[in-house]
Structure 1
């Protein structure tokens, strides 16, 4: 159990918690939510012992194993696999002790440690580590690569894998999906649902929270309020509280009136029908979520360019990629009002497609046709790196609109919650979420008629994501969206394209269907692959290689048989010694006080022999299976 008792926490001039109360029971899966800066990460540091409370206390059971996902990784020459295995600290301890025992010739201690290795699943550790890397979308060859060769985002994934590798009682995850694609997010979601310990999860992904958590802790106004259920349950309960406030109710009614007016005006108009339907969907959801967001400081939108073309942009039989085609014969026509979500495995080419549409990547073949009035708004995965850290949000806009007045710019930035001096501060002082808002503001200011958004929600909190959802629903141009935020996809796109196997094709289904498609793909990938050249005549080189492998297998048979026979002999010897020990223990006189020392020694002999027998029998079984398999292959040769 984790318990905060009248706990207060001060960081510099800011008081994050003031006499906060919180109780989290064992095995609960708890989502920690709240605006940026309220102290979510500081709560984790309290639990890890990196911070101390200013008042009150934090109570934790003793001898707990706590795993957490580090946010940074220093350069290391260790392989990705070894780095992930380091997460299982007990495994590393036992491995070191076992090596020392074997080097010193202490067979008794070696036997004990081999038994402990089996008890902590040490012999399956590498297999489990490979499964984690695979689930987080690492490629098969990545396991042997040094950590230093991975980019920052992939190093964070390695940190996540390391945390998951640990046999922990408490698992602390701070924004684990920020650097994941949709496939890896869904895999992590499934892994966490089966995690047996206590989970504390900081996340701004509402679907992820709904799927994983049993409770939500809302940190606000220096307090910690706990709600039972997932994020949607929290949202409804909080909405009920907020809806009791008359001022907020009136603001909600005003929004409803605006939506209904839009639907009445444009429902029958073909060019606006999809936007009208989006308003209807928003209206249907209003009772559930709107009241929980009426205090949002964000009111921004994406006004579209007055001039449009039909189509805005088209690809015709285009091969896309760098030196080699990643996507082949792509034909795509984007018209005003198109709202497309891109689905597909990591590395299949989603970002390649978007970069080809923006002309950041030249086509290898085929044709790209731009409409006369095409105006693209592009948010790339690494968009924040393109910002001038020394410039303010106001200066960024002034550079693209020199004639705009300071008041116009200030009013506009206010809708993104950059008020007063914040609009004039250098971007280098901003958090990741604030920088992302600056990038979105620059796109919105330029009034594009085609939005290409590649993972726009990284670093955005729940309030900004909600505002972004509403803004995209109101956008009247065309939209292509890549995101691991399923709520954003569900509420902002009307159709999906599947990018896989070098093709771009329409995906006939919704997000649930895609999740099933992913599960099927994983099953296929995990099945034993059939040889590529099955049912084909082998070339001379292949026949030579087959003969070499057959000879190699035959050469292994004799030493393997000897090893198996040796283990069998040792098992017999151990069985005889155990029989002798058991005969001694069957003698009732050995339990007399005068023979206590002898009894202790005999019991130790029994425990040691039993442990060694288990180790030898396990090794014998493995060798026997290996021998039988090799004999079958040799017979087939």
Structure 2
């Protein structure tokens, strides 16, 4: 196990962690959280042996193999597959020794080394490396390409694959989902759940943390505290501790009131019903998470829109692509004010291409595009961070964008994005990726767009900023098109999804759980193509079963919702029946109150009857589907 004994860690004269005492055991999967600058990366460096504790001792078993993701990747001529295989150092050493022994015709040593290779599953190493690369989004052709041919984001994936290839006792992952799309994140999630060593994970993706970790180590006010459970469990525990602070209640009530106002205003309008339902879900969740974010430095909202057209944008049988290559065709899309659209699809399917088309950065190759008279597009993508002027401060960027607004208003606005003090007037060249992303978002929001196009907006953003962005998007009155690997943001923001696949974009009738199942089916189909006839038959059977499960899932979910609703109505009616059966009620109650109770009793009887009819109909539909073996 790993032991921290009275460990203090400093950066210069600043104390990051003070007198930490903690034990991490094999099988612990620990999420390391804390504000930017709290000391998470420094703690990682200490565990890697690159930093030493200023006070205290860190005990890691001497025979433990520690794996981490390298920050840089040289432009090597080595193939992607061989580069990932290099992550298993013991395998490579055995291969080298085996080559020397074979050249020397040392039969005894050759036999011994082959035995050792079998012990470490060395003969399946290439298959494991290929599987890692496939899960991270690399094609079969990519695996033989030289490392130098890949862009920066893909080299990050190669480094991640190399770290996973290492048969480690301790795995240190710092923001592993950056530069990954949703299908790669889902695959990595499954891989890490099966990891048998000790995992220490820095991530700002709450769903990712919840799915993987069983402990949270949180750095706050120089203290390192260990919490049991996932990230949501941590939020609940921390919020309970903070619940005594009066400011928490005041701030949470303001946020609740804002969402409730939206719900009350729009829940009765058919065109706004889905958005209102989204806000209702957000309001329910806010009760459990807002408390844990009470000390967030971020607080901002979208500015009132200048004008809105309905529809904002219409695509009719549109095709688009690059040069002479068509990527997407027969696109049909209408964006109206208040709509929230999430784009799903595997890596390379064309999600970013569709966003660029909507933004006007890619030409139409066919079809018709109709823009509303008041359309104002706000487009955020990672490449736009490069358009920030490195020699200018956040304040200068704001003044260049809007020279007529007073400086103090710009400062107040930037403060909501945590640009305060000297930082607001400092050149942005040395800013971190997260700080540059916050500045780009601030500039975008100031333009008051009524159609937001967001392509991976949470890359480099920490949990607090993601939380603030989620709240702001829930209150935003314009339309949103979102591509993100952050499922918490997708769930809280999007009312509908489109699946980008096979050169088109079609409405996706399902949620993110259904999309995960769709991905599994796609992967299984690919395995079938590459498998032997016997394996093809088994894989096809499994794929068919997955398809049948996917068909049944929406009905099962509807049945569960109806059953829960029926139980609530029956409980309320039982209580009302008992109340109306009391003779004293008719003697003491006024006629108006009694009439209201009788009316509610009749309403509940009708609703129960309707619920029961819905339940029967759904079960008939479920029974009509093919059975699952």
- Place the TM-score, normalised by the shorter chain, in its bin: 0.7 to 0.9
1:560 maps to: none
1:329 maps to: 330
Is the contact between residue 21 and residue 223 of structure 1 (CA under 8 Å) also seen in structure 2?
no
Q: 1: CA distance between counterparts of 2:246 and 2:315? A: 52
Q: Secondary structure at 1:429's aligned position in 2?
A: coil
Following TM superposition, by how much is the alpha carbon of 1:249 offset from its aligned partner in structure 2, in angstroms?
Answer: 2.1
- What is the CA deviation profile of residues 451-499 of structure 1, one whole-angstrom value per residue up to 9, with x for unaligned ones? 0000000000000000000010011001000000000000001000000
Is the contact between residue 304 and residue 449 of structure 1 (CA under 8 Å) also seen in structure 2?
no
Matched, 1:487 2:488: yes
Following TM superposition, by how much is the alpha carbon of 1:258 offset from its aligned partner in structure 2, in angstroms?
Answer: 3.2
Q: 1: CA distance between counterparts of 2:2 and 2:531? A: 50
1:412 maps to: 413
Matched, 1:207 2:207: yes
Following TM superposition, by how much is the alpha carbon of 1:268 offset from its aligned partner in structure 2, in angstroms?
Answer: 3.3
- What is the CA deviation profile of residues 15-42 of structure 1, one whole-angstrom value per residue up to 9, with x for unaligned ones? 1111112211111111111111111111
Describe how 1:55-454 pairs up with structure 2 within 5 A: 55-269=55-269, 273-322=273-322, 323-454=324-455
1:7 maps to: 7
Is the contact between residue 305 and residue 448 of structure 2 (CA under 8 Å) also seen in structure 1?
yes
Following TM superposition, by how much is the alpha carbon of 1:123 offset from its aligned partner in structure 2, in angstroms?
Answer: 1.1
Across the aligned residues of Structure 1 and Structure 2, the Cα RMSD in angstroms comes to 1.5
Is the contact between residue 8 and residue 54 of structure 2 (CA under 8 Å) also seen in structure 1?
yes
Question: Alpha carbons of 1:243 and 1:397: their partners in 2 closer, same or farther (altered >3 Å)?
Answer: same
Which deviates the most, 56-65 or 295-304? Answer: 295-304
Q: Which runs of 5+ in 1 are unaligned?
A: 532-637
Following TM superposition, by how much is the alpha carbon of 1:382 offset from its aligned partner in structure 2, in angstroms?
Answer: 2.3
Which deviates the most, 431-440 or 272-281? Answer: 272-281
Q: 1: CA distance between counterparts of 2:69 and 2:109? A: 34
Question: Alpha carbons of 1:436 and 1:129: their partners in 2 closer, same or farther (altered >3 Å)?
Answer: same
Following TM superposition, by how much is the alpha carbon of 1:274 offset from its aligned partner in structure 2, in angstroms?
Answer: 4.6
1:543 maps to: none
Q: Which runs of 5+ in 2 are unaligned?
A: 533-629
1:466 maps to: 467
Is the contact between residue 259 and residue 475 of structure 2 (CA under 8 Å) also seen in structure 1?
no
Aligned residue pair count: 531
Q: Secondary structure at 2:160's aligned position in 1?
A: helix
Following TM superposition, by how much is the alpha carbon of 1:94 offset from its aligned partner in structure 2, in angstroms?
Answer: 0.2
- What is the CA deviation profile of residues 315-353 of structure 1, one whole-angstrom value per residue up to 9, with x for unaligned ones? 111111112111111111111111100000100000000
Is the contact between residue 342 and residue 498 of structure 2 (CA under 8 Å) also seen in structure 1?
yes
Q: 1: CA distance between counterparts of 2:250 and 2:411? A: 27
Following TM superposition, by how much is the alpha carbon of 1:304 offset from its aligned partner in structure 2, in angstroms?
Answer: 4.6
Q: 2: CA distance between counterparts of 1:119 and 1:198? A: 22
Which deviates the most, 203-212 or 426-435? Answer: 426-435
Q: Secondary structure at 2:449's aligned position in 1?
A: coil
Q: 2: CA distance between counterparts of 1:39 and 1:315? A: 48
1:624 maps to: none
Is the contact between residue 30 and residue 200 of structure 2 (CA under 8 Å) also seen in structure 1?
yes
Q: Secondary structure at 1:397's aligned position in 2?
A: helix
Q: 2: CA distance between counterparts of 1:195 and 1:155? A: 23
Matched, 1:509 2:510: yes
TM-score, normalised on structure 2?
A: 0.83
TM-score, normalised on structure 1?
A: 0.82
Following TM superposition, by how much is the alpha carbon of 1:127 offset from its aligned partner in structure 2, in angstroms?
Answer: 0.8
Following TM superposition, by how much is the alpha carbon of 1:272 offset from its aligned partner in structure 2, in angstroms?
Answer: 5.1
Q: Secondary structure at 1:428's aligned position in 2?
A: coil
Following TM superposition, by how much is the alpha carbon of 1:529 offset from its aligned partner in structure 2, in angstroms?
Answer: 4.9
Which deviates the most, 252-261 or 225-234? Answer: 252-261
Question: Alpha carbons of 1:272 and 1:297: their partners in 2 closer, same or farther (altered >3 Å)?
Answer: farther
- What is the CA deviation profile of residues 340-395 of structure 1, one whole-angstrom value per residue up to 9, with x for unaligned ones? 00000100000000101111111111122211111011011322222111111111
Describe how 1:609-628 pairs up with structure 2 within 5 A: none
Q: Secondary structure at 1:199's aligned position in 2?
A: strand
Q: Which has the larger radius of gyration?
A: 1
Following TM superposition, by how much is the alpha carbon of 1:13 offset from its aligned partner in structure 2, in angstroms?
Answer: 3.0
Is the contact between residue 381 and residue 454 of structure 2 (CA under 8 Å) also seen in structure 1?
yes
